[in-house]
């Protein structure tokens, strides 16, 4: 099995001219010193969520999970090499590694991006999400900087390498890792399991494997990439070429070589070893800078309104902290609205509080299991309140098990980490009821906006009356009523009428409630009948489809039989013409060539007189259209057995061939078919035909 190595290349920032001069002076002064000398650099290493020059795209959550292997693999830090040369001495070591999340705010709640950030998502689902992102053009823009990157802090000890890094001769680095699997975006095969890959070349466009003619006309092609799974990092090398144009390396302390501690960096033992400037001198430790004084934050009039709302719900927090939060929340506004506020149909106060909770829970991971349990509780309450039937409850509850949720596609979920699944209308209602009390991470406005989109796509009425506590009750808005279908709106109006009569808010003489209820019952009955007709039509379609498939199979078989008979017929003519010694030899020669061309050549060269002579030694009894069966003699009373036409003799040769191959059922079947076509006379028996001598004998 071929072992693939994934490498990315990153540019090194060249130091300023003054830095090179300082380094040269320090190097000359301390060239004879016994102190270990080195250069500390910080690498903005391989990026996730973007296509590099090697046509790879790395999944953010998988890169994040694998970052620990830089420093913990085999309890040793990864080495820094030159040109991936593992046989030469390392030039340095990796001291620290971490993953930096750079997901743009405008794409944070994109369902496909959420799949790439979900550690419970299957790699195959993440590959599908990547294909959709590539097709949308989001990750192909010139200013796209990915979804995150690995940051490495490394110590370079090799003096020759330090000199080349500072003067620009070594200006790129490359990281390598070995995944267990790598999925092709076109065919979804694991290319690690085949020696020559899957046949698709990264960087090329291909039609989908199941594409039909219409898909090809639409030019609905897939960009080929290999998507690896876990990042089992191996080493980092300084190399010549780069594939990732936006990565960088920062030389710490203005590019001046530093004195480095022996062994691994231990910041707990000495909190200055990774932060202060060290030169070749043993005593060159500068003072730590003084902590800056906190600045007084001034708020605008609109920011002050946000501050007042935040302070009401967070009275225990420090005023300056709340001001900073107010500024951060107000900065999210665009065109007078907070993100997804209009789509989620939220007032300003609710949108501000949701944004506050989002900021406070930023960086936390959503517990998908806990959200699923909360949604189960909501479904149970909806059943008790008779908002859904027992059948609807059972169907919705079954979709919330761990096993069932794993089978749902990533686009079914409206929350991060595959939370807030919305596969049907019951889950739409449950998600809306839950979001007001949900205190976990995730953009709640975006979650509600996603739920609204799902409700519209599923055709779920949003104005269905709900039993709620007073503090949770929200009156349906005009926008809610606009989303309701006419029939559902009439039914809702009937319910309101009934309730108003019960509370004596409406004249009881109104009869429209009963009329609407009766009409609704009729519509439901018509719907049931229509569904029955649809089911019958589906069964009829399946029957005709099966019948069609059987006819196609029969057509293919008849075509095969016809070709075999043509070969036997032409072979017999060729033997009778003296071109071949026996039928087997003739059939073998004809089978490999174009039958239409062979038909023209053999039939045009066929001499019937010579053929009769070969069959009956020139004593044919009916030379015009029949020949004596050369393999059949006379009866005891000298009665000649039935004669065969030329076509009949060809068919007889085919039957004799089948018997010779011990295919007696097929021989009987061919005999019956030829007899029904009048190729054999009524007097001809199977024994007569089977006694025919093979041509050429």
pLDDT tens-digit readout, 234-276: 888 888 776 666 656 666 544 444 444 433 343 433 333 333 2
377 and 254 both lie in a single domain:
no
Angle of helix 608-616 versus helix 512-576 axis, rounded to 10: 70
Asked whether the beta carbons of 111 and 411 are under 8 A apart, the reply is yes
**73-82, 265-274, 414-423, 602-611 — most confident range:** 414-423
> Range with the lowest mean pLDDT among 64-73, 153-162, 482-491, 657-666?
482-491
Asked whether the beta carbons of 536 and 542 are under 8 A apart, the reply is no
29 and 173 both lie in a single domain:
yes
**515, part of any domain:** no
Domain endpoint, select from 451, 484, 517:
484
**436, part of any domain:** yes
**50, part of any domain:** yes
253 and 372 both lie in a single domain:
no
The pLDDT of 163-172, averaged and rounded, is 80
Which of the two residues, 141 and 13, has the higher pLDDT score? Answer: 141
Asked whether the beta carbons of 498 and 513 are under 8 A apart, the reply is yes
The pLDDT of 44-65, averaged and rounded, is 86
Buried b (16+ CB within 10 A) or exposed e, 147-180: bbbbbbbbbbbbeebbbbbbeeebbbbbbbbebe
**251, part of any domain:** yes
Q: What's the pTM value of the predicted model, to 2 decimals?
A: 0.37
CA–CA dist 251, 256 (Å, integer):
8
What's the domain count of the chain? Answer: 2
At 198 the pLDDT is 79
CA–CA dist 560, 214 (Å, integer):
31
The percentage of residues in the chain with a pLDDT greater than 90, rounded to a whole number, is 2
Q: Is the pLDDT of residue 223 over 80?
A: yes
The pLDDT of 198-214, averaged and rounded, is 83
109 and 239 both lie in a single domain:
yes
At 7 the pLDDT is 39
18 and 153 both lie in a single domain:
yes
Tell me the per-residue pLDDT of 556-588, one tens digit each, with 9 for 90 and over. 888 888 888 888 888 888 888 888 888 888 888
At 253 the pLDDT is 45
* Residue in the structure block whose two tokens are 């000398």: 37
Q: Is the pLDDT of residue 164 over 80?
A: yes
387 and 251 both lie in a single domain:
no
**269, part of any domain:** no
Domain endpoint, select from 220, 239, 259:
259
**573, part of any domain:** no
Full domain range(s) for residue 413: 368-484
Tell me the per-residue pLDDT of 91-125, one tens digit each, with 9 for 90 and over. 888 888 999 999 898 888 888 888 989 888 888 88
First to last CA, the chain: 56
104 and 249 both lie in a single domain:
yes
Q: Is the pLDDT of residue 654 over 70?
A: yes
The pLDDT of 530-541, averaged and rounded, is 89
28 and 166 both lie in a single domain:
yes
The pLDDT of 32-52, averaged and rounded, is 74
**92, part of any domain:** yes
CA–CA dist 181, 62 (Å, integer):
12
CA–CA dist 169, 239 (Å, integer):
10
Could you tell me the maximum CA-CA distance found in the chain, to the nearest angstrom?
132
Asked whether the beta carbons of 80 and 236 are under 8 A apart, the reply is yes
Tell me the per-residue pLDDT of 293-352, one tens digit each, with 9 for 90 and over. 556 788 888 889 889 888 887 877 788 888 888 888 888 888 888 877 777 777 888 888
- What 3-state DSSP class applies to 402? helix
Which of the two residues, 681 and 504, has the higher pLDDT score? Answer: 681
Domain endpoint, select from 455, 484, 513:
484
The percentage of residues in the chain with a pLDDT greater than 70, rounded to a whole number, is 75
**What is the DSSP secondary structure assignment for residue 620, as one 8-state letter?**
-
Tell me the per-residue pLDDT of 266-296, one tens digit each, with 9 for 90 and over. 343 333 333 322 222 233 333 344 455 556 7
Q: Residues 602, 605, 610, 612: is their CA dihedral positive or negative?
A: positive
**399, part of any domain:** yes
Asked whether the beta carbons of 219 and 179 are under 8 A apart, the reply is no
Can you give the three-state secondary structure of 49-108, one letter per residue? Answer: CCCCCCCECCCHHHHHHHCCHHHHHHHCCCEEEECCCCCCCCCEEEEEEEEEECCCHHHC
**Residues facing residue 82 across a β-bridge:** 238
CA atoms within 13 A on the CB side of 654: 27
At 24 the pLDDT is 62
At 534 the pLDDT is 92
The pLDDT of 135-141, averaged and rounded, is 83
The pLDDT of 517-530, averaged and rounded, is 85
CA–CA dist 417, 102 (Å, integer):
17
- Rounded to the nearest integer, the mean pLDDT of the chain is 75
Non-local (6+) Cβ contacts of 163 within 8 A are 27
């Amino acid at each position: 099995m071929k072992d693939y190595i994934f490498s990315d290349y990153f540019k090194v920032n060249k130091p300023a001219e003054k830095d090179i001069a300082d380094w040269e002076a320090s190097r000359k002064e301390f060239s004879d010193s016994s102190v270990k000398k080195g250069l500390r650099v910080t690498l903005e290493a391989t990026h996730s969520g973007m296509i590099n020059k090697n046509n790879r795209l790395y999944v953010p959550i998988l890169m994040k999970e694998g970052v620990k292997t830089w420093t913990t693999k085999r309890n040793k830090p990864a080495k820094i090499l030159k040109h991936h040369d593992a046989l030469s001495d390392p030039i340095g070591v990796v001291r620290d590694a971490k993953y930096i999340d750079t997901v743009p705010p405008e794409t944070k709640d994109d369902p496909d991006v959420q799949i790439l950030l979900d550690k419970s998502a299957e790699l195959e689902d993440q590959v599908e999400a990547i294909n959709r992102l590539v097709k949308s053009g989001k990750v192909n823009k010139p200013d796209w900087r990915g979804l995150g990157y690995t940051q490495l802090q490394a110590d370079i000890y090799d003096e020759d390498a330090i000199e080349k890094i500072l003067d620009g001769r070594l200006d790129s680095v490359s990281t390598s890792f070995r995944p267990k699997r790598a999925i092709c975006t076109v065919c979804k095969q694991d290319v690690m399991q085949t020696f020559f890959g899957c046949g698709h070349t990264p960087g090329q466009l291909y039609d989908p494997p199941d594409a039909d003619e219409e898909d090809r006309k639409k030019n609905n092609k897939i960009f080929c990439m290999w998507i690896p799974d876990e990042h089992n990092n191996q080493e980092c090398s300084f190399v010549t070429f780069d594939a990732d144009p936006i990565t960088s390396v920062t030389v710490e302390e203005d590019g001046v070589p530093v004195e480095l501690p022996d062994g691994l960096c231990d910041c707990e033992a000495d909190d200055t070893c990774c932060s202060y400037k060290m030169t070749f001198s043993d005593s060159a430790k500068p003072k730590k800078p003084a902590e800056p004084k906190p600045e007084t934050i001034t708020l605008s009039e609109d920011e002050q309104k946000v501050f007042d709302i935040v302070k009401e719900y967070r009275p225990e927090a420090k005023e300056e902290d709340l001001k900073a939060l107010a500024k951060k929340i107000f900065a999210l506004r665009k065109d007078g609205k907070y993100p997804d506020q209009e789509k989620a149909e939220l007032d300003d106060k609710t949108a501000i509080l949701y944004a506050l909770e989002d900021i406070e829970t930023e960086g936390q991971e959503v517990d998908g299991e806990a959200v699923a349990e909360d949604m189960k509780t909501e479904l149970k309450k909806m059943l008790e309140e008779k908002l859904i039937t027992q059948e609807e409850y059972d169907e919705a509850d079954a979709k919330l098990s761990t096993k069932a949720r794993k089978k749902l596609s990533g686009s079914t979920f409206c929350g991060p980490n595959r939370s807030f699944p919305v596969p049907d209308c019951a889950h739409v209602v449950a998600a809306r009821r839950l979001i007001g009390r949900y205190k976990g991470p995730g953009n709640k406005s975006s979650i509600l906006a996603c739920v609204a989109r799902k409700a519209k796509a599923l055709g779920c009425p949003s104005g269905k009356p709900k039993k709620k506590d007073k503090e949770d009750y929200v009156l349906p808005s005009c926008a809610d009523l606009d989303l309701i279908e006419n029939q559902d709106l009439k039914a809702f109006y009937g319910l309101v009428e009934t309730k108003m009569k019960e509370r004596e808010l409406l004249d009881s003489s109104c009869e429209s409630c009963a009329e609407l209820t009766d009409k609704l019952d009729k519509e439901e009955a018509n719907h049931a009948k229509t569904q029955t007709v649809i089911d019958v039509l589906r069964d009829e379609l399946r029957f005709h489809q099966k019948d069609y498939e059987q006819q196609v199979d029969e057509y293919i078989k008849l075509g095969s039989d016809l070709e075999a008979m043509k070969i036997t017929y032409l072979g017999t003519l060729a033997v009778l013409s003296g071109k071949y010694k026996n039928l087997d030899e003739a059939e073998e020669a004809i089978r490999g060539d174009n039958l239409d061309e062979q038909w023209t050549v053999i039939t045009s060269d066929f001499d019937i007189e010579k053929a009769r002579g070969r069959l009956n030694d020139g004593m044919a009894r009916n030379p015009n259209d029949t020949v004596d069966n050369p393999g059949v003699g006379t009866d005891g009373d000298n009665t000649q057995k039935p004669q065969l036409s030329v076509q009949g003799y060809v068919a007889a040769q085919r039957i004799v061939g089948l018997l010779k191959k011990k295919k007696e059922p097929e021989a009987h079947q061919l005999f019956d078919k030829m007899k029904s076509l009048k190729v054999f006379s009524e007097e001809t028996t199977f024994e007569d035909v089977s006694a025919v001598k093979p041509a050429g004998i």
